[in-house]
């Protein structure tokens, strides 16, 4: 596995590799877990060459404390990527992403007004700006994004289409622990006590989905699930909402493909999750 820290190294490799086949990028902020490795596997299945991007992007953190505490394990990450068989790790120096005088912001409207966008000011501008750079710097033919960050996936798909970026955005299924907790780099900041409580979020969401699919009205089902999550020990449910899978419009009846979205605080950690909701069976 090669390691690049400079854009010129990335560009040289991309030019060579893309002359002989397709290149896929796995965008990450490091602290890699099995979810990231599943993105690498999906990338290898699609492309001849795979590059992993690691950069803790300051522009997408609305909370300075969260940025400071975000886990960083570059050496261990490099070992995991080499074992997974990626061709290169591109961990750009900060000035390769945001050079002196950088003054551009990419904003996707509409999709970013709700859910995490409503609670984390500037977050999706930071994501959209850095993802534009990831795609233009690596010139990848495929870019892999996990459905765990489903709103991010929608935002990135919109921006790639709107800006005619020559890349296919590939959605990849969420990877979970055996007890249902969605894998996240933030999980390592949970205390053992909070880690034991954490799966209650997904469990309550699953029960809510079953109730809605059995024909119960979404409003009261969501209210009950919120209480269940807080009773289990979560400090606060930031949102628990049913929205259309395509376009994220709010839904009060199960009349088209939907997802149930959640963000909740457990100790010092903010966790998000989402699951698909099939049509109601009456």
Contact between 28 and ligand PAF by CB under 6 A: the answer reads yes
Catalytic residue flag (residue 202): no
Among 27, 92, 117, 218, binds ligand PAF (CB under 6 A): 27
Contacts of 113 (CB under 8 A, 6+ apart): none
- Looking at the DSSP bridge assignments, the partners of residue 28 are 54
| Options 33, 36, 73, 123, the catalytic residue | 36
Q: Alpha-carbon distance 144 to 173, whole Å?
A: 10
Contact between 130 and ligand PAF by CB under 6 A: the answer reads yes
Q: Alpha-carbon distance 100 to 271, whole Å?
A: 34
Looking from the CA of 84 toward its CB, the CA atoms found within 13 Å total: 28
Among 77, 87, 125, 149, binds ligand PAF (CB under 6 A): 149
Contact between 127 and ligand PAF by CB under 6 A: the answer reads yes
| Closest approach of ligand PAF to the CB of residue 55, in Å | 6
Q: Alpha-carbon distance 276 to 11, whole Å?
A: 38
CA distances from 224 to 36, 144, 209, 216, 219 (A): 33, 35, 12, 12, 9
Contact between 125 and ligand PAF by CB under 6 A: the answer reads no
Q: How far is CA 204 from the centre of its chain?
A: 21
Contact between 57 and ligand PAF by CB under 6 A: the answer reads yes
Question: Could you give the string, one character per residue 59-98, with x where binding to ligand PAF holds by CB under 6 A and - elsewhere?
Answer: -x--------------------------------------
Contact between 29 and ligand PAF by CB under 6 A: the answer reads yes
Cβ nearer to ligand PAF, comparing 136 with 191: 136
Q: Alpha-carbon distance 99 to 165, whole Å?
A: 22
Annotated catalytic sites, by residue? 36
């Amino acid at each position: 596995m090669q390691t690049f820290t400079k854009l010129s190294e990335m560009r040289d490799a991309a030019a060579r590799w893309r002359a002989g086949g397709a290149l896929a990028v796995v965008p990450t902020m490091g602290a890699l877990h099995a979810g990231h490795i599943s993105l690498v596997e999906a990338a290898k299945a699609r492309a001849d060459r795979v590059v992993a991007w690691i950069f803790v992007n300051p522009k997408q953190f609305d909370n300075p404390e969260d940025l400071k505490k975000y886990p960083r394990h570059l050496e261990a990450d490099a070992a995991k990527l080499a074992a997974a068989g990626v061709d290169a790790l591109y961990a750009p120096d900060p000035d390769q992403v945001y050079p002196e005088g950088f003054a551009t912001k990419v904003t996707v409207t509409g999709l970013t007004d709700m859910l995490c966008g409503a609670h984390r000011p500037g977050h999706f501008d930071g994501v959209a700006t850095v993802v534009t750079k990831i795609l233009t710097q690596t010139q990848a033919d495929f870019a892999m994004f996990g459905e765990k960050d489903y709103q991010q996936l929608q935002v990135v798909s919109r921006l790639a289409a709107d800006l005619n970026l020559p890349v296919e955005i590939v959605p990849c299924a969420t990877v979970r622990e055996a007890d249902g907790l969605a894998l996240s780099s933030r999980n390592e900041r949970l205390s053992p006590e909070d880690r034991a409580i954490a799966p209650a979020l997904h469990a309550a969401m699953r029960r809510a989905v079953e109730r809605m699919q059995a024909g119960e009205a979404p409003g009261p089902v969501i209210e009950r699930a919120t209480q269940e999550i807080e009773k289990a020990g979560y400090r606060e449910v930031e949102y628990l909402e049913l929205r259309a899978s395509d376009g994220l419009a709010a839904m009060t009846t199960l009349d088209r493909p939907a997802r149930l979205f959640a963000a909740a605080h457990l100790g010092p950690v903010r966790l998000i999750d989402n699951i698909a909701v099939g049509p109601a069976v009456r």
